Amino acid sequence: METPADPFYRQLPKVELHAHLNGSVSSETMEQLIARKPQLNIEHSMTAIRSGQRRTLDECFQVFKVIHQLVDSEEDILMVAKAVIQEFAADGVKYLELRSTPREETKTGLSKRRYVETVIEAIHQCKQEGVDIDVRFLVAIDRRNGTKVAMETVKLAEDFMLSSNGVVVGLDLSGDPTVGHGRDLLPALQKARNCGLKLALHLSEIPSQKEESELLLDLPPDRIGHGTFLHPEVGGSDTLVDKVCKQKIPIELCLTSNVTGQTVPSYDQHHFKYWYTRGHPCVLCTDDKGVFCTDLSQEYQLAASTFRLSQEDVWDLSQQAIHCSFAPEPVKQQLEQKWAKLRPVCLMSDTDEPSTPPLFYMDVPSRPALTSVLEKENG
């Protein structure tokens, strides 16, 4: 990260609900992985997208393929998962839901079951070591792998939901949105819902998914990932919006990820504003903090500066995320107590709060319109 967030956003207790494990690997951990596998000839520039750079969705997915080459054994997964958890905790995240697609690697003997077991082991080790964060896991279906593999993944997730003492709480649907159609995955998703798994579905990431979004919203999902093209102003429809609003389905919003991946033209045009101004449940997330060179504190500060949110607004946004999580009710109550305890420490008095939020990311090329407005306002 090139510009750390201001202290308020660092101290703010936060909830992260949309974090892909392999995409969240920091530059420091990535350097260790690269050093351990020099034969791959992978450079760090191949595993991250720097601030101000733009990539197509396809180019973003190519980055993940490179990372998978570096993370292909139980030892790698354990190291990466522990580091990611510790980094989120250091950034003030108090509750984290990691997600990842179980992979098997013949050359290292890694099985899908061992993949999940190793992530769970990393979560347990961090807890034993006193890392101040509650971590849960979502087993992910990669949509490109089709119906059969999706059903196998649901069975795996169900097994771990019953045996992981509450660590595995749900199922994620993700992967390249240009591949396949959600209708082929409906039986697997319905099976997951029937067995008690919560559903967090990537939905409407690209403009051509209106029909698929209709089908997936009928399940319905418990949370929506991105939802970039749901509303009519960007090619969605009032019908889709009505379904989302009627069921009050929270939306996981990842500002830097969307702008860097060019599904949103600029920060000030991000669909956060559309949903937030309607009072709809919104959760700020990182998506892939390592790949996109961000963290959750930066995402909160970015939202505050772009959309003129006060510290009270930011606090409420953070606290609301607790109720959008898949945590058991007793855990949600514990988190509420933690927020109540930290509130007077984090929030300044009304007289101390700056009249406008800090101007953050004003040098980002993708925000010329907003920059121009703010320059005029500030003389």
Residue 95: CB atoms within 10 A of its CB come to 24
Q: Any idea which residue has 């007289």 for tokens?
A: 351
Smallest CA-to-CA distance from 227 within 261, 256, 260, 263 is with 263
Strand order, beta sheet including 282-284:
14-20, 93-100, 134-142, 168-174, 198-203, 223-226, 251-253, 282-284
Is 30 in contact with 64 (CB distance < 8 Å)? no
Q: Which of 97, 105, 158, 205 is catalytic?
A: 205
Q: CA 132, 114, 179, 325 torsion: positive or negative?
A: negative
Secondary structure string (H, E, C) spanning 241-290: HHHHHHCCCCEEECHHHHHHCCCCCCHHHCCHHHHHCCCCCEEECCECCC
Is 165 in contact with 137 (CB distance < 8 Å)? no
Q: What's the rounded Cα separation, in Å, for the pair 3 and 89? A: 19
Q: How would you class 273 by CB atoms within 10 Å of its CB: exposed for 0-12, middle for 13-18, buried for 19 or more? A: middle
Q: What's the rounded Cα separation, in Å, for the pair 280 and 365? A: 29
105 belongs to the catalytic site: no
Residues taking part in catalysis = 205
